[in-house]
Structure 1
Amino acid sequence: MIFLLLSRLSAKVPSVVYRAALIMKPQVVFVLGGPGAGKGTQCARIVENYSYTHLSAGDLLRAERSREGSEFGQLIDSYIKEGKIVPVEITINLLRKAMEDTMQIDEKKFRFLIDGFPRNEDNLQGWTTVMDGKADVKFVLFFDCSNEVCINRCLERGKSSGRTDDNRASLEKRIQTYLQSTRPIISLYEKQGKVRTVDASCGVDEVFADVKTILDKEG
């Protein structure tokens, strides 16, 4: 059923990213870290100061879940509430469409921060299958933060965010999913020398100072 729905979605999406890639491949930085590590906050700072477009896998999924008439809304909602990882076919198609839409508007916007992805081996394999040769992953920006700090930040955020998953029960599930599924992906990229680690337990300004040092060095 998922594949049938995705085939309909793909049929409606022009292959702009692939045509543009003939001129310049999308340059991608994966942004990873536990829930509440500050990925979204820091990505917003990066966009303000550098020529990156921020794509949040989580935000795209939540937007699709809330979109009226979405064929995936109920499925996405059930996965998010359980703290589970949404099927890769859905996430990949949402990310690809967002990249294509961005490059269709402006071909010069080819640098992307992809936040909260890949979250597990299935995500990584899906990315490799769909985007291999069509996008360059420059490195992984890893926001390292203790589980307790992450949970406390999310609980505080939940007072005003309206997010159904910003509660302790969902957060503990999300933390376990992160440790079991995402950390091994970070370790895999570490072995390839592609991880740039930031201590995310500090204040927002201190964290961004470290981020700037990394981005200035990477060019």
Structure 2
Amino acid sequence: MWDRCIRRFSDYIIKMLPEVVFVLGAPGAGKGTQCSLISKEFGFVHLSAGDLLREERQRPGSEYGEMIEEKIRNGEIVPVEVTCSLIHNAIQKSGKTRFLIDGFPRNKNNLEGWERVMADKTKLLFVLFFECSRDICTERCLNRGAAGSGRSDDNLESLKKRFNTYLNDTMPIINHYDEQGLVRRVNAEVSPEEVFNDVKKIFKGLD
């Protein structure tokens, strides 16, 4: 009787945890565009790790601003403690229950930091992985930069570094979750409308 009560209480706590979908893919794969569409259609809160870091970089008096700017400009990854703290604060402030975390975890350090700091505070539903070739992604990012994206890393030199980081650091994370059956792959080389049609099939499978 007591064990059954404990199990029911544990199940209740798990159901109350914020539900998270990690959104991963190469720079320019269309993560931000698709997250915006998912948010409108399914009510998920879109949290971009990159946007949170850029906002923190620009916040007056930020103790992390200079370090974040240097890391972003060089295509490197910001320390996981900083990123996890920003994500956790954004989840708490939102008052919502379902979240898309865009561009995270990007390396082994991110993964270990998340599991250490956030795994017992959230429930991971799955990893949404947008597959797109390097050439297409590079063209998209350069066009975005030429159109005035305001991002200091939308240039060829930074993109080379970002792709190396993606291949060497992020792909092993995707493989890690793939082994657990948690990765949902989407072809991101087609139009945003076609991509979203595939995305909708994945999200409609949720309760």
Q: TM over 0.5, yes or no? A: yes
Counting only pairs closer than 5 Å after superposition, residues 150-169 of structure 1 correspond to structure 2 as 150-159=137-146, 160-169=148-157
Q: Distance in 1 between matches of 2:141 and 2:57?
A: 20
Q: Distance in 2 between matches of 1:212 and 1:94?
A: 28
Q: Distance in 1 between matches of 2:88 and 2:37?
A: 23
Q: Distance in 1 between matches of 2:144 and 2:83?
A: 24
User: Alignment RMSD, CA only?
Assistant: 1.1
Q: Distance in 2 between matches of 1:128 and 1:61?
A: 20
Structure 1: gaps spanning 5 or more residues? 1-20, 104-108
Counting only pairs closer than 5 Å after superposition, residues 111-126 of structure 1 correspond to structure 2 as 111-126=98-113
For residue 198 of structure 1, give the secondary structure of its aligned residue in structure 2.
Answer: strand
Q: Distance in 2 between matches of 1:155 and 1:132?
A: 36
Structure 2: gaps spanning 5 or more residues? 1-12
1:157-184 per-position Cα deviation (integer Å, ceiling 9, x unaligned): 0011011100000001000000000000
Task: Pick from 21, 29, 32 the counterpart of residue 21 of structure 2.
Answer: 29
Q: Which has the larger radius of gyration?
A: 2
| Structure 1 stretches of at least 4 aligned residues deviating more than 3 Å after TM superposition | none
* 1:16 aligned residue: none
Q: Aligned letter for 2:48? A: S
| TM-score after normalising by structure 2 | 0.91
Q: Distance in 2 between matches of 1:55 and 1:184?
A: 22
1:187 partnered with 2:175:
yes
For residue 217 of structure 1, give the secondary structure of its aligned residue in structure 2.
Answer: coil
* 2:33 aligned residue: 41
Q: Aligned letter for 1:80? A: I
- Number of aligned pairs? 194
Give 1:23 shift: 7.1
| TM-score after normalising by structure 1 | 0.87
